[in-house]
């Protein structure tokens, strides 16, 4: 057996460089690169290894560990989980800064390889700078925080451990059912230790998605129930996009006359104007999709984990004879809500299910009703997003302006706050991949970093980032990274004077406006100049006053060569009322405020509509 003597860090980098995939018809590296913020836990070992292989595995500079991991996650999502990135940090705060982003990847089932530095395996210099000391267990380090938010976790204390651990990490990262973050904690002394690795370990390896098909008995049960349906509805989740099954879904819906609603992750699975599309579903959904869901006797969920926002906290489906069929590559999701499971890849599953259904079609009166409801909803969208002369336009009016400005292939990116609710129900997505929302973990601060990751994955598409002032203040550092990496973003900052979304929820729960808007604190908002701040990070920036100025600024931004930030003051109170379903937010049983007592009574009545079968 031929061997090559390498340090553990050198072997790690060489192995990652040898991983390949076929993406968009091209043989390409599986890992597009590695984000790094160096410190004493990774600069000497891994840093030297990365420098040596910088042409094969590019290293990218970032400004915040959480943000760079968000960017890596967004890259993987925009790449439909076919390609990915790695992230390395020093020990201590660098590593724990990645925990929030790891949770984002875990919840959203997205691949990212985390390589945090760790304390000395030999413990000779303990305690080192930034070491977390557990009084009862010396094996615990800060990196143990990453265990519950990793699909795979290991600490490489000996260089030869890579031989077994790295292939397992890659298995998880590339497996459709288990996909999520993998963490390899790297003690800094072990990074520098050498070992005679087999040369075969570094043989080029191509990774392809495993397209599993459904079990024949599960398929038969699903087809039999669907054939009996009088009011069937399809829910398209993110799994449709990850399986590259958008065309398959379109053919399936056309052949069987099925209305298709979409989750946040599944938005864009069908073009917004597709004859079978009925829009967003759930708490942030359209009136059309939610009305159909309330009546549906069979719901076929494709590639969705059916979170509380999708099911309106299990209150959306009201037909007493309702049956749920879950087509999902992950058995964990396929059995939720006591569903008939159909475990398999979304594309293959729809193909064989269509064959099993034969010529069956949904009753024409149901299909016609779906079309009529969607037409009514589109009129609501037009009205909500129409231009306005208001000095402080609504979020809906702002996103309407951006949507009209964007070309068909452009991508919009957003995350937490009020924007996801407005965008899910109002944004019109003409092509797959044009709508990129992080709403599985609803993570404030994802937006700008996520936009960077999308742009790195798809440099030929314009990327619009919509971000509230609260999220902007939490994490804006990757504006500088986007300029540094020549990854142009168009960022629209909606300044409503604080946390407007939660302020609205607070009011709807009977609470007084408290600790959310800047005005709640001292009666006067601080004079934050978002445009000036963005300019200080290297972006071109301007303040727009109203929709007319915003539309003109967007045209200038589209012509710009570098990241362009537009700040605009918006209405903190008004939101699109129509469409959305109930959401379970517990209201106190006891309060001195009559508004809370009233809200509690409404809440108790609403909980009576929840399904609790499992």
Query: What are 266-324's pLDDT values in tens digits?
Result: 999 999 999 999 999 999 999 999 999 999 999 999 999 999 999 999 999 999 999 99
Residue 149: alpha-carbon gap to chain centroid: 15
Residue-range domains of the chain with CATH = 3-207 (3.40.50.970), 216-377 (3.40.50.1220), 386-569 (3.40.50.970), 584-614 (no CATH)
Q: How confident is the model at residue 517 (pLDDT cuts 50, 70, 90)?
A: confident
Which range (18-27, 91-100, 137-146, 592-601) has the least confidence? Answer: 592-601
- Residue 234 is predicted with a pLDDT of 98
Q: Decide if 416 contacts 286 (C-beta within 8 A).
A: no
Least confident segment among 168-177, 504-513, 590-599: 504-513
**CA geometry: angle 264, 212, 205, nearest 5 deg:** 95
Q: How far is CA 51 from CA 10, 14, 56, 403, in A?
A: 10, 12, 10, 42
Check if the beta carbon of residue 479 is closer than 8 Å to that of residue 541.
Answer: no
Using CA atoms, how far residue 281 sits from 425, 433, 516, in Å, is 8, 18, 28
Tell me the C-alpha distance between 6 and 12, whole Å.
9
The number of residues in the chain equals 614
What average pLDDT does the segment 153-170 reach?
98
- Across 51-106, the runs of DSSP E, i.e. the strands, are 59-61, 84-89
Residue 586 and residue 81: Cα distance in Å, rounded? 36
Instruction: Report, as an integer, the average pLDDT of 395-402.
Output: 97
Is pLDDT of 450 > 80?
A: yes
**585 within 8 A of 509, measured Cβ to Cβ:** yes
What is residue 498's predicted lDDT score, i.e. its pLDDT?
79
- The CA distance from 191 to 121, in Å, is 10
Query: Do the bridges between strand 59-61 and strand 31-36 make them parallel or antiparallel, or are there none, so unpaired?
Result: parallel
The whole-number pLDDT of residue 186 equals: 98
> How, if at all, do strands 19-23 and 26-29 pair?
antiparallel
Average pLDDT over residues 143-170: 98
Residue 521 is predicted with a pLDDT of: 65
- The first and second tokens of residue 502, run together, are 């939660």
Which spans in 427-477 are helix H?
Answer: 446-457, 469-474
Q: What is the pLDDT of residue 338?
A: 93
The pLDDT score that the predictor gives to residue 104 is 98
- The tokens of 576 are what? 């699109």
- Helix (H/G/I), strand (E/B), else coil: 408: coil
Residue 525 has pLDDT above 70, yes or no: no
User: Using 50, 70 and 90 to split pLDDT, how confident is the model at 534?
Assistant: very high
353/601 Cα distance (integer angstroms): 44
Lowest mean pLDDT among 154-168, 510-524, 583-597: 510-524
| Those residues with Cβ within 8 angstroms of residue 59's Cβ, 6 or more apart along the chain or in another chain | 33, 34, 35, 36, 50, 51
Q: Is residue 110 scored above 90 in pLDDT?
A: yes
Q: Identify the three-state secondary structure at position 185.
A: strand
List all residues 6 or more positions away from 118 whose beta carbon is below 8 Å from its beta carbon: 41, 91, 95, 141, 143, 155, 185, 186, 187, 188
Q: Answer yes or no: are the C-beta atoms of 123 and 86 closer than 8 Å.
A: no
Please give the pLDDT value at position 573: 85
The mean pLDDT value for 92-108 works out to: 97
**Cβ atoms 90, 141 nearer than 8 A:** no
Q: What Rg do the C-alpha atoms of the chain give, in angstroms? A: 25
Asked if residue 329 has pLDDT above 80, the reply is yes
Please tell me the predicted confidence (pLDDT) of residue 577. Answer: 81
How far apart, in Å, do the first and last CA atoms of the chain sit? 54
What was the pLDDT predicted at 614?
62
Q: Partners of 198 in the beta sheet?
A: 3
Distance CA 195, CA 5 (A): 5
* Average predicted confidence (pLDDT) for the chain: 95
Percent of the chain exceeding pLDDT 90 equals 87
Q: What is the pLDDT of residue 578?
A: 78
Structure-model confidence comparison of residues 75 and 517, the more confident one: 75
d(CA 466, CA 416): 10
370: Cβ contacts below 8 Å, ≥ 6 apart: 259, 276, 278, 288, 292
Is it the case that residue 524 has pLDDT exceeding 70?
A: no
Q: Is 126 exposed, middle or buried (0-12, 13-18, 19+ CB in 10 A)?
A: exposed
Confidence of residue 580 (pLDDT cuts 50, 70, 90): confident
Q: Name the E strands within 515-605.
A: 540-544, 564-569
What the block records as the tokens of 373 is: 């409801």
Contact 403, 427 (CB under 8 A): yes
Tally Cβ neighbours within 10 Å of residue 358.
Answer: 11
Average pLDDT over residues 219-240: 98
- Whether 384 and 426 have beta carbons less than 8 Å apart is answered as yes
Cα–Cα distance between 472 and 20 in angstroms, integer? Answer: 36
What six digits make up the tokens of 51?
């420098």
CA dist 197 and 564 (Å) reads 48
Reported confidence tier of residue 522, pLDDT bands at 50, 70, 90: low
| pLDDT value of residue 270 | 98
Residue 226 host element (H or E): helix 216-227
pLDDT tens per residue across span 67-81: 999 999 999 999 999
What pLDDT is recorded for position 510?
Answer: 80
Q: What is the pLDDT of residue 24?
A: 86
Picking from 484, 432, 483, the residue whose alpha carbon sits closest to that of residue 458 is: 432
Q: Residue 38 above 90 pLDDT?
A: yes
Q: Reply yes or no on whether the pLDDT at 120 is more than 80.
A: yes
Instruction: pLDDT band for 147, please (50, 70, 90 cuts).
Output: very high
**Above 80 in pLDDT, residue 456?**
yes
Pairing outcome for strands 3-7 and 194-198: antiparallel
User: Buried b / exposed e across 101-112, counting CB within 10 Å, b at 16+?
Assistant: bbbbbbbbbbbb
In 396-424, which positions are buried (b, 16+ CB within 10 angstroms) versus exposed (e)?
bbbbbbbbebbeeebbbbbbbbbbbbbbb
């Amino acid at each position: 057996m031929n061997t090559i003597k390498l340090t553990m860090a050198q072997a790690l980098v060489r192995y990652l460089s040898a991983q390949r995939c076929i993406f968009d018809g091209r043989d390409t590296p599986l890992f597009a690169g590695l984000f790094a913020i160096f410190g004493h836990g990774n600069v000497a070992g891994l840093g030297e290894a990365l420098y040596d292989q910088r042409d094969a595995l590019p290293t990218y500079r970032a400004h915040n560990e959480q943000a760079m991991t968000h960017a890596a996650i967004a890259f993987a999502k925009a790449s439909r989980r076919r390609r990915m990135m790695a992230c390395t940090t020093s020990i201590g705060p660098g590593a724990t800064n990645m925990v929030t982003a790891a949770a984002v990847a875990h919840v959203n089932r997205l691949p990212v390889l985390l390589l945090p530095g760790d304390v000395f395996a030999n413990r000779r210099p303990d305690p080192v700078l930034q070491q977390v000391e557990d009084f009862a267990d010396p094996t615990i380090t800060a990196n143990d925080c990453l265990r519950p938010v990793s699909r795979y976790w290991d600490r490489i204390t000996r260089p030869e451990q890579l031989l077994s651990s790295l292939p397992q990490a890659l298995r998880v990262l590339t497996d459709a059912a288990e996909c999520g973050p993998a963490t390899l904690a790297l003690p800094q002394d072990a990074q520098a230790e050498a070992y005679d690795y087999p040369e075969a370990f570094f043989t080029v390896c191509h990774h392809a998605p495993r397209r599993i098909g459904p079990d024949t008995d599960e398929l038969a049960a699903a087809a039999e129930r669907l054939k009996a349906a009088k009011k069937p509805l399809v829910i398209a989740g993110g799994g449709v996009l990850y399986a590259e099954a958008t065309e398959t879904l379109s053919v399936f819906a056309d052949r069987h006359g099925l209305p298709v609603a979409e989750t946040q992750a599944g938005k864009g699975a069908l073009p917004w104007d597709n004859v079978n599309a009925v829009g967003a579903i759930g708490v942030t959904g359209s009136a059309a999709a939610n009305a159909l869901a309330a009546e549906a006797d069979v719901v076929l969920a494709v590639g969705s984990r059916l979170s509380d926002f999708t099911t309106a906290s299990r209150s959306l489906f009201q037909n007493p004879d309702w049956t749920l069929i879950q087509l999902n590559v992950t058995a964990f999701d396929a059995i939720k809500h006591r569903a008939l499971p159909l475990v398999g890849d979304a594309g293959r599953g729809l193909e064989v299910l269509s064959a099993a259904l034969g010529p069956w079609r949904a009753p024409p009166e149901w299909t016609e009703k779906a079309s009529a409801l969607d037409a009514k909803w589109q009129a609501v969208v037009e009205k909500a997003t129409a231009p306005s002369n208001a000095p402080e336009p609504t979020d809906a009016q702002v996103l309407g302006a951006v949507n009209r400005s964007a070309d068909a292939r452009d991508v919009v990116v957003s995350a937490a706050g009020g924007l996801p609710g407005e965008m899910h129900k109002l944004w019109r997505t003409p092509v797959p991949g044009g709508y990129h929302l992080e709403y599985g973990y609803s993570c404030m601060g994802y937006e700008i970093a996520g936009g960077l990751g999308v742009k790195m994955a798809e440099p030929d598409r314009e990327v619009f980032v919509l971000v509230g002032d609260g999220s902007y203040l939490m994490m804006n550092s990757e504006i500088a990274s986007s300029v540094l990496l020549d990854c142009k973003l168009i960022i629209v900052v909606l300044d409503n004077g604080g946390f407007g979304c939660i302020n609205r929820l607070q009011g709807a729960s009977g609470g007084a406006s408290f600790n959310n808007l800047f005005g709640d604190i001292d009666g006067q908002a601080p004079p934050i100049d978002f445009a000036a701040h963005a300019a200080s990070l290297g972006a071109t920036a301007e303040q727009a006053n109203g929709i007319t100025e915003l539309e003109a600024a967007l045209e200038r931004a589209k012509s710009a060569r570098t990241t362009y930030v537009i700040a605009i003051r918006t209405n903190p109170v008004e939101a699109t009322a129509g469409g959305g379903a109930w959401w379970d937010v517990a209201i106190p049983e006891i309060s001195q405020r009559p508004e809370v007592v009233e809200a509690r009574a409404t809440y108790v009545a609403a909980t009576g509509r929840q399904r609790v079968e499992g």
